[in-house]
A = this chain, B = another copy of it.
Amino acid sequence: MTFRTDLEIAQAHQMIPITDLAASIGLSEEDIDLYGRYKAKIGLHVLEKFKERPAGRLIDVTAVTPTPLGEGKTLTTIGLTQGLGRIGKRAACTLRQPSMGPVFGIKGGAAGGGYAQVVPMEDLNLHFTGDIHAVGQAHNLLAAMLDASLYHGNPHDIDLHTITWTRVMDVNDRALRDVVVGLGGPVNGYPREAAFEATTASEVMAVLALADGIQNLRQRLGRIVVGFNRKGHPVTAEDLQGAGAMAVILKEAVKPNLIQTLEGQPCIVHAGPFANIAHGQCSVLADRMALKLVDYVVTESGFGADLGMEKFMDIKCRQSGLRPDCVVVTCTIRSLKMHGGVGRIIPGKPLPEEIRRENPAAVAEGCRNLAHMIKIAHYYGVPVVVAVNRFLEDTDAEVETVLREAVRAGALSAHPVTAWAEGGAGAVDLAAGVVSACERGGEFRLLYPDELSIKEKIEVLARRVYNADEVAYEPLAEKKIARFEELGWGRLPICMAKTHLSISHDPMLRNVPSGYVFPIRDIRVSLGAGFLYPLAGAMLTMPGLPSRPAAFGIDIDERGRVKGLF
């Protein structure tokens, strides 16, 4: 096997014209809008057109608590889709759209890797079909309307100190995290401290991901809270008369995007909200559409099962009625060793020697984290299959340890996956295991009912999911929780904003922390998205560029082709 970069593999691949791919799943030329030869948007009327069709099986791919390098969840999602294809199943994956800012920072692309990729990967990682730009435009129009409202006499009597609506940009720009706007004299408005976040951190992105159609999108946009008036009542995008224009800006972005895997399965990419301050899932519309087009839909939820999968269940499934048939928990040997107490993985540095050395005992110890993730999935009544994203240096003894521990913890089956090197052929066993699990099925249930109070919900999460003993609320959080209950927001589900590097709130606590106090320092509302997000730590919502960003190496070559991207 000669080593080729992801970009080389993707550029050398002969894609199927997207009209042909669409036709293969029953979509006519009227059902799609082409964006070049290999990308298309799917019209929302398709849901109505195919409403009598039975829905396929839904599989959510999640992970153990990841290292900062990630567990290969997207890779597994795509590889599993390709593996299902290899065993003769009609399968598709649904993915979040990666954002462009990080491409020029330290991050690689987010289109899988090796021989388990979706293509065209350059387009996917750059502007794609413009959806993230549309989200940014809608968000920033509302921000401009808010400041214009203050400038034109503040008719909504907004208390400047309560403004929570930021501006957004899809560029890693730390200098914009904390700014003062409105300087330069009275013609420029009122000076006030303000912030920029990454576009993917916008509530508009979460709204896009949770909306079930254009009218629902429009209504949700109207409910977005930008701040409070001097009487303490929320001021919304509807109050500012901005929600209609925002919906118009998003009228194409609301349509899911169709691309393909390297092995020709459909991949629907749509929306990409953050997985800490938001719920980190591709759109409800993407899943719904895919379920009508194929028999097996593989989707992905951000970070570990304590974070992304929990939100997949308690937010996305709660709001949409989507019901997963199977959960796949992905892990790597290196992360389980790290949870087992060996070494620490730091991005941009070589793997420490102790993590490279064979150590089945450390792997076994780290499998407590895997077992906890399986336990969380079982709270929802969904069968679990484990995937070990196998690297060349992993030994048989280490991999066997995980397979044994996974089944001991209640997984129906566990499988090594070599999709990076082999594509779908490296995920055939996993695919068979997933098909069995789907056939066995489960009895879906939510972790908590809407009726619990905010604090009760947080405590269910803290004890059962994060394995804490108790919850401590800072005074600000206490006060805001009480106010949110008064405002009638207590029925909303909780979207915990916490680190993804630990089951707990503390990124230094590996494996399965216990006997600790889970802290809530603040709580905020995304009323358009329909959740509350307590903050269990400082969440960075605008990345910065490192001293040698990826941008330094990206250029066009003498023939005008892209080089240095990934």
Which A residues have a C-beta under 8 Å from some C-beta of B? Answer: 33-37, 41, 100, 104, 126-127, 130, 133-134, 137, 140-141, 143-145, 147-148, 151-153, 167, 169-185, 187-190, 193-194, 214-215, 218, 241-245, 247-249, 251-252, 544-547, 549, 551-556, 558, 560, 562, 564-565
Contacts and interface: CB of A to CB of B under 8 A. Distances in A.
Contact of A551 (B33, B145, B187, B189): B145
Contact of A564 (B244, B547, B553): B244
Contact of A549 (B104, B148, B193, B545): B148
Contacts of A549: 145, 148
Given A152-B547, A189-B174, A564-B244, A104 B179 contact: no
A215 B560 contact: yes
A545 B148 contact: yes
Contacts of A182: 174-175, 178-179
A192 to B, nearest CB: 8
Contact of A176 (B126, B152, B181, B241): B181
| Oligomer: number of copies | 2
A204 to B, nearest CB: 13
A242 B130 contact: no
B145 A545 contact: yes
A189 B170 contact: no
A555 to B, nearest CB: 3
A241 B178 CA distance: 26
A104 B245 contact: yes
A172 B144 contact: yes
Given A104-B141, A148-B545, A169-B140, A242 B175 contact: no
A466 to B, nearest CB: 27
Given A35-B34, A133-B133, A245 B170 contact: no
Nearest to A38: B33
Contacts of A245: 104, 551-552, 554-555
B248 A562 contact: yes
A41 B546 CA distance: 35
Given A144-B171, A241-B551, A562 B251 contact: yes
Contacts of A248: 126, 554-556, 562, 565
A509 to B, nearest CB: 23
A108 to B, nearest CB: 15
11 contacts: A33-B37, A35-B36, A144-B175, A148-B544, A148-B546, A148-B549, A152-B547, A153-B547, A244-B553, A244-B554, A245-B552
